[in-house]
Amino acid sequence: MQSNASWRKFSLTKARPPGISQTIVTTQTAIPVALIGCGAVSQAFYLPTLRALSATGEFAVHSLIDPSASARAPLAEAFPRAGQFTTLADAEMPAGGLAIVATPPRFHAGQTLESFARGWHVLCEKPMASASAECEKMIAAAESAQRLLAVGLYKRFFPSSRYLKDLIAGGQLGVLRSYSIVEGGPFKWPAATPSFFNKAQTPGGVLLDIGVHVLDLLVWWAGEPESLDYADDAMGGLETNARATLTHRGGAQGMIRLSRDWSTANEYRFEFEHGLVSWKVNDANNLTVQLAGTSAALRAQLVTPLRSNLNGAEPQPLATNPQSFIAQLQNVAAAIRGTQPLLIPGAEGIRSLRLIETCYREREVLDQPWFTPVESNRAQELAVQS
Amino acid sequence: MKVAIIGANGFIGSRIVEQFYLNGTHTAIPVVRKPASLALPSRFAIGWRLGDALDSGSLAAALNGCEAVVHCAIGDPRQIEQMPAVLCEAAEAAGVNRVVYLSSASVHGQNAPDGSSEESPLHETHSIEYNNAKVRAENAFFSEATKRGIEGYALRPGVVYGPRSRWIADLAAELRGGRAWLYEGGTGICNGIYVDNLIAAIGLCLEAKSGAGQAYLVGDRETTSWADFYHLAADSLGVPRASIHRLPELPVFRKPFRERVENAVAQPWVQSLLPAVPGKVKQVTKTLLSSWNPPRSPDAWSLPSSPQPRITEEMALLQQCHCKLPHTKAAQTLGYEPPVPFAEGMRRSFAWLEFATSPS
C-alpha cells in the first residue's frame, strides 16, 4: 500500500539522465517533464501521450518519481533516458520544465508548491487537490512563482463536449430547459494501491472521483448552479452512489446520478427548447441529436466543418478520446512557450472542487430501500457521525 | 464474533457486510482480492483486507485474528474447484476454526429430481459444468475441513435473489426487452431464496453448537412457481404480464464443438497434462477453436423482427423443475426459519433495482 509516509521516507536512488541541459525552454527545445507518481493514470494515459509528444519533440521525459520501483518500471522502459527517483526532493530537472502531478489527491498541493519552488510549471491531475483551500494556495503560488498551473480535466478537450458548450452558450437549439447525467459502473480502475478507498488519503468517493469531471463539464457548460440538493450512500466511509438535483440561473433543472456500484446508462441528456441531445460518456466525437418536431434522432460523428462548395475535401473525424488527452498536453506545451493561452488553469480547476464541497456540506444519506428499518436508522446515524 | 467475508464485493458478500455492520450482529472483515473491489465495503469505516481466494498465503494473512470465515467468492469452474483447499489451508494457518462455505443447490442440477434432499447422491455428469465443479468443490471442502480439524458448514441455496442479484437485473432486462419467457405456463418451481434469508442461515452456522461437517439446503419458506416470480417482477416493473412469451416446448441443447473441447480441457486430469504441451500447439489450437463455427451474417433482405425469447440451457432446466428443495434439515439442525417472505423479498429487490437504475 502506498502511504503518505512511503512518499517521504524512501531513500535517494537517483541516476542523472545524460543529455539534458539546464537551458531555459524555448520554442525550439523539448520541454523537460518530471512525472510525479507512476501509478495507473500515468501508465495508461501519460505514458502513451508523452511517447507521442516526445516523438514530435514537444516534450522530453526527464524524471520519473515514485516510491514504487514496479510502478516506475513500465515508464522507465518507455523512457530509458529519464532519471528515476523515489522522492520529489531528490529529483532533478531544469527550471522551466513541466511537473505532472499524478499522485493521490492528498499529495497534490504539497507537490505542486514544491514544484513551483523549483521553477517548474505544473500540470496537476484531477481532482486539483483534496480541498478548495489547498487549490487557492496552489493558484497563489503559481502567480507568485510566475509559473503555469494547469489542471488535468481533459474531457473539456473532447470535440463533443466543446460542441455541447457551443449549443448551450449559443442557443442554436433554444434555451436549455433540463438535463440528466448518469455516469459510472462497477469500479474497475486498475488501482495498484487501495488509496482510492482510504479516507485519510482520498477524502471522497465517487463524487470526488468521476464527479470531478462531471461537475467540471457542468460548470463549464452551464455555470455554477444557484441551488442544489445532494445525497449519497457513505455510512462512515466513502460513497459509491451519489445523487444531486440542481437549479441554474434561467431555470434549467438538472439531475446527476453517479455510481461505482452498478452499471449505469453512462449518458448525458439535454433537453433544449428545440430539441434533445444525448452524449455517451467518454465518446469524444459523437452525439445524438433530435430536433423538435422531427421523427427520428441523428446519431452523428463530429467531423470538420462542411464547406459551402462541393469541391471541398472530405470531412475528417474530429479528435478521439486519446487524441483529446494528447491535445491537453499540447495546449500546456503551447502555453509554456507562450504561443497559446492555457485552457484549463487552476482558476478553472477549483470550480468543480468548490461545488463538490458544497455537495458534501449539504449531504444527506441516500434512502436505500432494501434496508430494514433498523438498518436505515443505523445508516442515518453513521452518516451524521462521519 | 469477528468474521472474515471472502468475496465481500460480490452480491451476497456485500449484503452480508451491510447486514452485519448495520445490525451490529458480528464484526465483518471484508476480504477482497484487489483494491478495485473495495468500493462497496469502503462505504463503512471498516477494516477491510486484501487476500486472494486462490492463494493460501495471502488468504491466511487476511484471516488473521478472525474467529470465523464465510466464503462467498466466485470464479470459473476450475477456480471453484481450487478454492476449498486454499480456504481450509488458510483457515488452519490463521487459526480460524469455523468456516461457512457457500455451495449451491445446483449440485442437484437445475432440474432437481423429485424427492431431492441432502441425502440424495451427487454426481459429476451434469450438462452444465458449473454444477459439476460445485459438486467437486463441496466434496473437497468437507474433505479438507475434516483433515484440518475445521468445523465446516456448507449451504446449498438455489436461486439467490435480492439487491445486486443478476437474477433480478437480468430478468428486468429480459422483461423490458420483450425477451422473457415461461415454459408450460411457468408451473415449474423456482427454488428461490431472498439474500437476507441466506444470511440468516449463515448466521445460524456461525453460532451453531452442532451440525458441522454437513451440507444444508436453504430456501424461502414459500413454494414459488416461475410464473409467480416472473409475474411479480413484471408487475414491479410495469411490464404487462401478457408480454411474456409462453413456450410449449424447449429446444434441445447440444453443446457446440468448441464448448465441448473447453469443458474437456477444464477436467483436472487434462489440466495436469497441459504443462507438457508445447505453447505453440496450444496457441494454434486456440486459434482454430476460435474460428470454428463463425456466426452467420444476417440476411439483408429480412423484415425487422420483434424481440425473441432468449433461452439458455440453465433457465430451460430451471423452469422444468417440479421439486421444491426442502430445508427441513437446516430447520431441524440449525433452527433455520426464513425471516423474509417471498413477496417482501421481491419488493425489496425491485426497490433496489429502481434505486440502481432509475434515471430520476
B176-228 pLDDT, tens digit each = 999 999 999 999 999 999 999 999 999 999 999 999 999 999 999 999 999 99
Contact across the interface for B39 and A369, Cβ inside 8 Å: no
* Smallest Cα distance from B256 to chain A, Å: 31
CA distance A30 to A24: 10
Q: Give the per-residue pLDDT at A193.
A: 80
Nearest Cβ partner of A190 from B21, B36, B38? B36
Q: Give the per-residue pLDDT at A25.
A: 52
Residues of A in contact with B345 (CB under 8 A): none
Which CATH class name applies to A4-152? alpha beta
Q: Is the pLDDT score of A22 beyond 70? A: no
Q: Give the per-residue pLDDT at B292.
A: 66
Q: Is the pLDDT score of A365 beyond 50? A: yes
Q: How far is CA A38 from CA A11, A31, A65, in A?
A: 17, 19, 7
Q: What is the DSSP letter of A363?
A: -
Query: Is the CB of B58 inside 8 Å of chain A's CB atoms?
Result: no
B123-175 pLDDT, tens digit each = 999 999 999 999 999 999 999 999 999 999 999 999 999 999 999 999 999 99
* Smallest Cα distance from A336 to chain B, Å: 36
Judging by DSSP bridges, how do beta strands A267-272 and A253-259 pair with one another? unpaired
Contact across the interface for B348 and A369, Cβ inside 8 Å: yes
In sign, the C-alpha dihedral spanning B55, B56, B61, B62 is positive
Mean predicted lDDT score pLDDT of chain A: 91
Nearest Cβ partner of A193 from B18, B35, B352? B35
Contact across the interface for B23 and A199, Cβ inside 8 Å: no
Query: Testing the interface with B: which of A41, A197, A385 to mutate, by most B Cβ within 10 A?
Result: A197
Nearest Cβ partner of B40 from A236, A240, A367? A240
Q: Give the per-residue pLDDT at A47.
A: 98
Contact across the interface for B43 and A238, Cβ inside 8 Å: yes
Nearest Cβ partner of A240 from B24, B39, B349? B39
B332-352 pLDDT, tens digit each = 999 999 999 999 999 999 999
Nearest Cβ partner of B42 from A238, A369, A371? A238
What is the rounded average pLDDT of the residues B67-86? 96
CA distance A281 to A321: 11
Query: Is the CB of B18 inside 8 Å of chain A's CB atoms?
Result: yes
Q: Give the per-residue pLDDT at A10.
A: 31
B91-115 pLDDT, tens digit each = 999 999 999 999 999 999 999 999 9
Query: Testing the interface with A: which of B43, B58, B194, B197 to mutate, by most A Cβ within 10 A?
Result: B43
CA distance B232 to B238: 10
Nearest Cβ partner of A237 from B46, B164, B356? B46
CA distance A123 to A325: 13
Residues of B in contact with A195 (CB under 8 A): 35
What is the rounded average pLDDT of the residues A144-166? 98
Q: Give the per-residue pLDDT at A7.
A: 41
Contact across the interface for B357 and A262, Cβ inside 8 Å: yes
Spatial CB neighbours of A351, under 8 Å, sequence gap ≥ 6: A215, A216, A219, A220, A224
Q: What residue ranges define each of the domains in chain B, with the CATH number in brackets?
A: 2-165+189-220+321-354 (3.40.50.720)
* Smallest Cα distance from A265 to chain B, Å: 8
Residues of B in contact with A374 (CB under 8 A): 22-23
The distance from CA B144 to its chain's CA centroid, rounded to whole angstroms, is 21
Residues of A in contact with B18 (CB under 8 A): 371, 375
Q: What is the DSSP letter of A318?
A: -
Contact across the interface for A374 and B36, Cβ inside 8 Å: no
Q: Give the per-residue pLDDT at A20.
A: 32
Residues of B in contact with A366 (CB under 8 A): 355
Contact across the interface for A234 and B356, Cβ inside 8 Å: no
Q: Give the per-residue pLDDT at A4.
A: 39
Q: Residue B347 in contact with residue B354, Cβ under 8 Å? A: no
CA distance A297 to A173: 14
Nearest Cβ partner of A197 from B21, B38, B359? B38
Paired with A286 in beta bridges are: A301
Q: Is the pLDDT score of A11 beyond 60? A: no
Q: Give the per-residue pLDDT at A178.
A: 98
Judging by DSSP bridges, how do beta strands B49-50 and A298-301 pair with one another? unpaired
Identify the residue with better confidence: A310 or A217. A217
Q: Cell for B150?
A: 475445521
Contact across the interface for A237 and B42, Cβ inside 8 Å: yes
Q: Residue B227 in contact with residue B182, Cβ under 8 Å? A: yes
B238-276 pLDDT, tens digit each = 999 999 999 999 998 877 677 777 767 766 667 777 777
* Smallest Cα distance from B33 to chain A, Å: 11
Q: Is the pLDDT score of B281 beyond 60? A: yes
Q: Give the per-residue pLDDT at B300.
A: 83
Q: Give the per-residue pLDDT at A384.
A: 84
A180-201 pLDDT, tens digit each = 999 999 998 887 788 888 888 8
Chain B: residue whose CA lies nearest to A257: B359
At residue B285 the predicted structure's pLDDT band, cuts being 50, 70 and 90, is confident
Contact across the interface for A192 and B23, Cβ inside 8 Å: no
Q: Which of residues 115-174 of B touch A (CB under 8 A)?
A: 162-164
Nearest Cβ partner of A187 from B39, B349, B359? B39
In sign, the C-alpha dihedral spanning B198, B200, B203, B209 is negative
Q: Give the per-residue pLDDT at A26.
A: 54
In chain A, residues under CATH classification 3.40.50.720 are: 4-152
B33-64 pLDDT, tens digit each = 999 999 999 999 999 999 999 999 999 999 99
What is the rounded average pLDDT of the residues A139-154? 98
Nearest Cβ partner of B43 from A195, A235, A265? A235
Contact across the interface for A370 and B45, Cβ inside 8 Å: no
Cβ-Cβ pairs closer than 8 A, A with B, add up to 105
Q: Give the per-residue pLDDT at B359.
A: 67
Contact across the interface for B22 and A197, Cβ inside 8 Å: no
Contact across the interface for B356 and A240, Cβ inside 8 Å: no
CA distance B330 to B11: 23
What is the rounded average pLDDT of the residues B315-330? 97
Percent over 70 (pLDDT), chain B: 94
What is the rounded average pLDDT of the residues A302-327? 90
Pick the CATH number of A156-320+351-365 from 3.40.50.300, 3.30.360.10, 3.40.50.2300, 3.20.20.70: 3.30.360.10
Q: Which of residues 29-48 of B touch A (CB under 8 A)?
A: 35-46, 48
Q: Is the pLDDT score of A28 beyond 60? A: yes
At residue B231 the predicted structure's pLDDT band, cuts being 50, 70 and 90, is very high
Contact across the interface for A237 and B164, Cβ inside 8 Å: no
Q: Is the pLDDT score of A17 beyond 70? A: no
Chain B: residue whose CA lies nearest to A232: B43
Chain A residues bordering chain B (beta-carbon distance below 8 Å): 180, 182, 186-197, 199, 205, 233-241, 255, 257, 259-262, 264-265, 366-371, 374-375, 378-379, 382, 386
Query: Testing the interface with B: which of A210, A232, A240, A370 to mutate, by most B Cβ within 10 A?
Result: A370
Q: Give the per-residue pLDDT at B358.
A: 83
Q: Cell for A115?
A: 514544484
Residues of B in contact with A265 (CB under 8 A): 359
Contact across the interface for A197 and B163, Cβ inside 8 Å: no
* Smallest Cα distance from B349 to chain A, Å: 7
Residues of B in contact with A182 (CB under 8 A): 359
Q: Give the per-residue pLDDT at A158.
A: 98
Identify the residue with better confidence: A198 or B295. A198
CA distance B9 to B38: 7
Contact across the interface for B35 and A239, Cβ inside 8 Å: no
Spatial CB neighbours of A287, under 8 Å, sequence gap ≥ 6: A160, A163, A164, A277, A278, A279, A299, A300, A302
Please state, as a whole number, how many other Cβ atoms lie within 10 Å of the Cβ of residue A1.
11
Nearest Cβ partner of A233 from B21, B43, B164? B43
